Amino acid sequence: MKRFDGRVAVITGAASGFGLEVARIAAREGMKLVLCDVQADALERASAEFAGNEVLARRVDVSKAEQMEALAEAVQERFGAPHFVFNNAGVGAGGLVWENSLADWEWVLGVNLMGVVHGVRLFTPMMLAAAQADPGFEGHLVNTASMAGLLAPPNMGVYNVSKHAVVALSETLHQDLALVTEQVRCSVLCPYFVPTGIAQSHRNRPQAEAGKPTRSQRIGAAMIEQAVSHGKVTAAEVAALVFEALRDERFYILSHPQAVGGVQDRLTDIVQGRNPGDPFAARPEIGAQLRQALRG
């Protein structure tokens, strides 16, 4: 995409973090905004920022098919097909993988994976129909995964699974779109530790589903909070990378290119048939700290 003015952006998780920063850039570019978030008060504050833009703000739980279907209908009725869809809403969770409850799995996969699935299945056909009707139409979907979708860090299995699935979905979507059109493209965003508020995402978890956290989950939450809060790359910088990728038609969007070394090590393990390597080889003190905490 080379032009944004007057075009339509649909953004989930729009009230904070990457979603809010992407919305700010989209607003500066003159886009019409569809802002979605599950947290109503934060969504109201966010949408108030964009008084100069045409805005449709809706409280949406992206894990709920019927709510996403109603969103797609509202977008079609108000604006027609969107040009940019940012399937971004996500939650964080950790703990030893066998300690995740069924409710943990349903919550994390519901938001992180099924939220993206719903965005893809509902908005892609709208964009393809618009492309078929207009040779000048340009569309682009960006799905938020994580470096945890390219690696497999310990003590955060349910999150890893959700983000690996988003990477696989996005890579397949890229290939599928290439079979049928050159007007609609996609990218996958794989951020590392960036201060966004995801470490507090439990605030939006339905209370009926929230059980008492295990020790490994408490330890994982504390370590992730520390890592995220000390992140040097900002959400605004990541949002700028998203728009660079739109302009450059680039698929992989990486906030920390230096972390790709870990991906290379993982792929080498696979190709050479080795057991997975030590994820803490570069920072053994962190591995020792985690082992001691879990065994203590």
Domain ranges of the chain: 8-257
Region of residue 235 (phi > 0: left; psi between -120 and 50: alpha; otherwise: beta): alpha
285: how many CB neighbours lie within 10 A of its CB? 8
Catalytic option among 84, 107, 159, 193: 159
Q: Would the pLDDT of 43 be above 90?
A: yes
Say which DSSP state 249 is in: T
Average pLDDT value for residue range 143-166: 96
Average pLDDT, the chain: 93
pLDDT at 5: 97
Residues ≥6 apart with Cβ < 8 Å to 222: none
> Where do we find the tokens 């660079």?
244
Whether the predicted pLDDT of 281 surpasses 80: yes
The pLDDT of residue 142 is 98
Q: What is the mean pLDDT of residues 247-265?
A: 95
Q: How far apart are CA 1 and CA 5, in angstroms?
A: 11
Q: At residue 199, does pLDDT exceed 90?
A: no
- Which tokens in the block code for residue 252? 């992989």
Per-residue model confidence (pLDDT) at position 209: 59
Q: For position 79, what pLDDT does the model report? A: 98
Residue 11 in contact with residue 62, Cβ under 8 Å?
no
Q: What is the mean pLDDT of residues 215-241?
A: 87
Q: Sign of the C-alpha dihedral, residues 26, 32, 37, 39? A: positive
Residue 82 or residue 258, greater confidence = 82
Q: What average pLDDT does this structure show over 220-235? A: 82
pLDDT of residue 52: 87
Residue 208 has pLDDT above 60, yes or no: no
**pLDDT score, position 231:** 73
* pTM, rounded to two decimals: 0.94
pLDDT at site 197: 63
Enter the tokens of residue 90.
């996500």
Note the pLDDT of residue 226. 79
Please give the pLDDT value at position 200. Answer: 58
Cα(175)–Cα(206) distance, integer angstroms: 36
User: What's the pLDDT score for residue 282?
Assistant: 86
**Residue 159 annotated in active site:** yes
Single out the residue of 142, 248, 130 nearest to residue 188, CA to CA.
142
Whether the per-residue pLDDT at 203 is higher than 80: the answer is no
Task: Compute the distance between CA of residue 203 and CA of residue 220 in angstroms, rounded to an integer.
Answer: 17
Token pair 């990218």 is at which residue? 187
* pLDDT at site 202: 62
- What is the predicted pLDDT for the residue at 223? 82
Question: What mean pLDDT comes out for the span 118-135?
Answer: 98
Percentage of the chain with pLDDT > 70? 95
CATH superfamily of the domain spanning 8-257: NAD(P)-binding Rossmann-like Domain (3.40.50.720)
- Residue 232: per-residue pLDDT: 83
- Report d(CA 117, CA 210) in Å as an integer: 24
